[in-house]
Amino acid sequence: MELPKSADVVIVGGGVMGASTAYHLARKGSRNVVLLERNPLFGQEATGKCAGGIRYQFATEINIRLSLLSLPMLDRFEEELGQAIDLRTCGYLFLLTREEDVKAFQANVALQHRLGVMTEWLTADEVRRRLPLMRLDDLLAATWYPRDGLADPNGVVQGYVAGARRLGAKFLSDVEVIGIQMDKGQVRGVRTKLGDIATPVVVNAAGPWAAQIGVMAGIEIPVVPVRRQVAVTTPIRDLPSDFPFVIDFARNLYFHREGPAILTGMSNLNELPSFDQRVDPEWELIHFDAAMARMPLLENVGISTRWAGLYEVSPDAHPILGKAEEAERFYCITGFSGHGFMHAPGCGLLLAEEILDGKAHTVDISSLDLHRFREGRQIVEYNVV
Ligand SMILES: Cc1cc2nc3c(=O)[nH]c(=O)nc-3n(C[C@H](O)[C@H](O)[C@H](O)COP(=O)(O)OP(=O)(O)OC[C@H]3O[C@@H](n4cnc5c(N)ncnc54)[C@H](O)[C@@H]3O)c2cc1C
């Protein structure tokens, strides 16, 4: 497809954020939306490396509200967009092994209940009965919400791309953005390796590369790339079909069912920001030791595949959503810090409202503005994995 000369909105980045924003702009009536992705295919970076977890169990009101908006949109996704997304409400089970976590989760669960997310407490014995495959002698308690679960990131991206295209949006791959043209704080256009596109509105949906797009517009965006890696085992016989998404909270370690196997990940909290996406073999050993200690049968299975990807991390682990004050019509949808996939449906809609209606109205996103960092209004979240 030829590069258009002009557009009403140019979206930089064809991961789940860009695709959802394009779809929601087009659905709200915007007819000249152009999305640019530098890779040959859409959704192959953070989105394609994602573990697919979707949950309501968060520790801040804004994250719970984003889940309350987004997860029902995933429930309706196939009906609305005609694309299967392998939705599985297997539940999330947070294992708590430290007194301080139990205390913090008491406050989280109270907040979740206030917002209508009826998370349940399970005793250590109940969890041992439910998860006979896990070694749980150090467990104090767990929280459980059966409507949390999993969905397929690739299906969600493809559904939004096809849905937006049907409504007239243009998606171009193999097009790298190399500059944002600005004039006295106004967006004028986007420069690419294949030519320029005049536009009054730019959406920065470049995920782990969002800060680079900010630099092109002279706007500091405090988002850094941080490597996270996962592995999938070989098939495990008799793995229960209702095996939940289990998070060993104190160890930043998680497990979920991936077909007949287990997908496991563990966040290295000492990982320094970088664009390195090679699997770190040293961390993998630490991860596998922890995984086998929690789930001993993993000692007897192989690894079928492994990969590393990048979280797009903001200083308070919350998204940056909305317009930048420095430039009239430069918008960000980034900084999701490890749980962006699940919030992409709602955040794409909310950003489309910001752009077309002047303000997001389905959820108040004023706390997610870019300027909270320099104004000391950071948000505190305990449930980052
Ligand atoms: C290992 C791992 C596990 C995760 N697990 C979960 C999970 O269980 N649940 C969950 O909700 N989230 C999870 N996440 C986080 C989630 O994947 C991200 O928050 C989300 O995918 C971010 O989407 P995005 O569209 O912003 O970024 P991306 O998918 O990275 O898309 C950004 C796009 O911008 C493009 N781009 C960058 N620069 C340019 C440029 N100059 N010109 C043109 N294009 C450009 C890139 O090529 C890329 O395709 C996980 C992430 C990782 C790495």
Return the residue whose CA atom lies nearest to atom 18 of ligand 1.
Answer: 340
Statement: residue 385 has pLDDT above 90: no
**pLDDT tier, 87 (very low <50, low <70, confident <90, very high otherwise):** very high
Q: How many Å lie between the centroid of ligand 1 and the Cα of residue 207?
A: 5
* pLDDT, position 348: 98
- pLDDT-wise least confident of 99-108, 311-320, 374-383: 374-383
**3-class state of residue 190 by DSSP:** strand
* pLDDT, position 382: 62
CA distance linking residue 109 with residue 116, whole number of Å: 10
Instruction: Note the pTM of the prediction, 2 decimals.
Output: 0.97
Q: Report H helices in the chain.
A: 16-27, 46-49, 61-75, 77-81, 99-114, 124-130, 153-166, 210-216, 281-294, 340-357
Listed residue (254, 258, 305) closest to 279, CA to CA: 305
Burial grade of 100 (CB within 10 A; 0-12, 13-18, 19 or more): exposed
* pLDDT, position 238: 87
- Whether 225 lines ligand 1, by a CB cut-off of 6 Å, is no
Listed residue (312, 311, 303) closest to 263, CA to CA: 303
Return the residue whose CA atom lies nearest to atom 30 of ligand 1.
Answer: 46
Percentage of the residues of the chain whose pLDDT score is greater than 70: 99
- Whether 342 lines ligand 1, by a CB cut-off of 6 Å, is yes
Model confidence pLDDT, tens digit, residues 219-242: 999 999 999 999 999 999 989 999
Model confidence pLDDT, tens digit, residues 112-160: 999 999 999 999 999 999 999 999 999 999 999 999 999 999 999 999 9
Statement: residue 331 has pLDDT above 90: yes
- Whether 256 lines ligand 1, by a CB cut-off of 6 Å, is no
